[in-house]
Chains A and B, each alone.
Chain A
Amino acid sequence: MKILVAVKRVVDYNVKVRVNADNSGIDLTNTKMSINPFCEIAVEEALRLKEKGLADEVIVVSIGSKKCEEQLRYAMALGADRGILLETNSIPSSLYCAKLLSKVVEKENPGLIILGKQSIDSDNNQTGQMLAGLCGMAQGTFASKLIIENNKVIVTREVDSGLRTLSLTLPAVITTDLRLNQPRYAKLPQIMQAKKKPLETLPAETLLAPIAPQVTTQRVDTPTQRKAGIKVANVEELINKLKNEAKVIS
């Protein structure tokens, strides 16, 4: 079985982002970029399934500029077997991404597709569900545990009310939550080896003509900042303030 993992290049999660001066977006000049943390968990899960003998190839795919090669190489340093870059210089919509990925699914025919549940830039949490819908596959979103048996994947999902476990027919789409696993680090020799692994780059439009975005960002603003309040000296003062100043308890 092949596993296809989608990875996205995003601003590093440690970077404190700033809205640019003309409110058109986030200032990303000279900003450290990394693999989206949820995608890293997706890569890790695919590698663990391969190490258990449940998969024989892990393919990583990314959509974006030439620079996304860095994230694909990183995923290959972790252990992915090969990479596919669908190159585009525009910012693709979730619908275009899902459709492009569905084309890769058609071509590669993977038994399992794993994506991060959301990217930490646009915070959309859409692409995996959309891909599953387009492919007519089962979906296991916000996964915290996966078991593959009898041509099914048993997925435990983190939901608002606790945990919910589903059994999905393969092939299926999984999106990862934080506690699915703890990703490994790439070691130097593996980083060197990854440079020799196959990475196929093709213009995104050769798979599917770009579709006009339906949702456009008009402006981006810095949220109103909360002001720090006061420090109280003791519990008595705190309770007094909550009762008589804030009036939130009686």
Chain B
Amino acid sequence: MNILVIAEHNNQQLSSATYNTVTAASQLGSTDIHLLIAGYECTSVAQQAVKITGVSVVLVADFPAYQHFLAENIAPLIRDIAQTNYSHILAPASTNGKDILPRAAALLDIEPISEITSIISDNTFTRPIYAGNAIATVCSNAPIIAMTVRGTAFDAASVARDNLAIVETVTIQHDNQLSTFVSEALSVADRPDLGSARVVISGGRGMQSGENFALLEKIADKLDAAIGASRAAVDAGYVANDLQVGQTGKIVAPDLYIAVGISGAIQHLAGMKDSRIIVAINKDEEAPIFQVADYGLVGDLFDILPEIEQQL
């Protein structure tokens, strides 16, 4: 039996979460790992995928119907492939993976497992529940175990130059016309990806406006950091939704997380408390964020941020 990993990509680049998911797959014993790339004109993605350590076969389903990763078309593709000889299906716990995998599981009549954070055995895993306030150990006896994988909980698989994986072309096409792609508003950032950056600097309601995020950007430039935000800052319209760190936003675990003007609501902590070092800057010395911060600095962020920028 083999393991099927659903690759995430934009038809040009594999996402970093795909590499973390392969590592999770490699912890499931000695079976072969097959990586499925469903997309359109995605040859360059396959070229990256064959180099990932641990992947033996790269399955490429290259059709216009798969261009926008619509769950209605990709889920039946996964169902058809998974029924051939697979014990597990893994996908990154990204918005794409969360959209597609449960639908594929339902088509296979199996109960999926969401956002695993560790692998205890081939059928036993841990996953956070109650916004990370509890960790459940779950065991599955499903005929195929389908799960999404929290990227920050697993290291990225390495890339090898020799011993490339075999590429196999998948000819299964599903184009059921239930949904069509209309448009996309992508955030263009010349910064590292929030989910995989080594340093993240996030602003909360204390930033007071979107314009003031420029203060964070100046520091991010010097540290090669990604910019994040609390739900309060996104709800207030300071920044776009894709910057939100928290239970319902992105889960991050960088080496250094700097929380600026963020009080530290449970739902925000759920998204960043696995960071290696946490710095909190807040004028309220009672703010809950200080309870998880390695280094806290109490004071006015509008004085502190320019000073940090200067001293870096």
Contact = CB atoms under 8 A, between A and B. Distances in A.
Given A139-B72, A236-B311, A161 B182 contact: no
B242 A126 contact: no
A242 to B, nearest CB: 7
A217 B137 contact: yes
Interface residues of A, number: 78
Contacts of B130: 11, 17, 26, 120-121, 123
Interface in B219-278: 223, 231, 234-235, 240-242, 247-248, 250, 255-256, 266, 273, 276-278
Interface string A211-244: 0011111111111001011111011101101100
A40 to B, nearest CB: 14
A167 B98 CA distance: 19
Contact of A248 (B70, B177, B277, B298): B277
A213 B142 CA distance: 9
A138 B179 contact: yes
B110 interface: yes
A248 B256 contact: yes
Interface in A165-184: 165-169, 172, 177-179
B11 interface: no
Q: Is the interface of A mostly helix, strand, loop or mixed?
A: mixed
B186 A161 contact: yes
Interface string B69-109: 01110010000000000000000001110111111111101
B75 A133 contact: yes
Nearest to A15: B130
B84 to A, nearest CB: 19
Interface stretch (A59-67, A75-83, A92-100, A198-206): A92-100
Given A123-B128, A126-B102, A138 B72 contact: yes
A221 B136 CA distance: 6
B95 A158 contact: yes
Contact of B132 (A137, A158, A223): A223
B111 A213 contact: yes
A209 interface: no
B127 to A, nearest CB: 8
A142 B74 CA distance: 18
Interface string A119-145: 011111111011111101111111010
B296 A232 contact: yes
A160 interface: yes
Contacts of A192: none
A163 B185 contact: yes
B129 A220 contact: yes
A129 B98 CA distance: 9
A220 B68 CA distance: 38
B124 interface: yes
Interface string B267-309: 0000001001111000001000011111111100000100110
Contacts of A21: none
A214 B96 CA distance: 24
A129 B179 CA distance: 14
A188 interface: no
B47 interface: no
A220 B136 CA distance: 4
A19 interface: yes
A239 to B, nearest CB: 5
Nearest to B132: A223
Given A134-B106, A218-B124, A235 B297 contact: yes
6 contacts: A95-B106, A133-B105, A162-B187, A216-B140, A232-B297, A246-B294
Given A121-B130, A169-B178, 5 more contacts: A123-B114, A123-B131, A132-B71, A157-B95, A231-B298
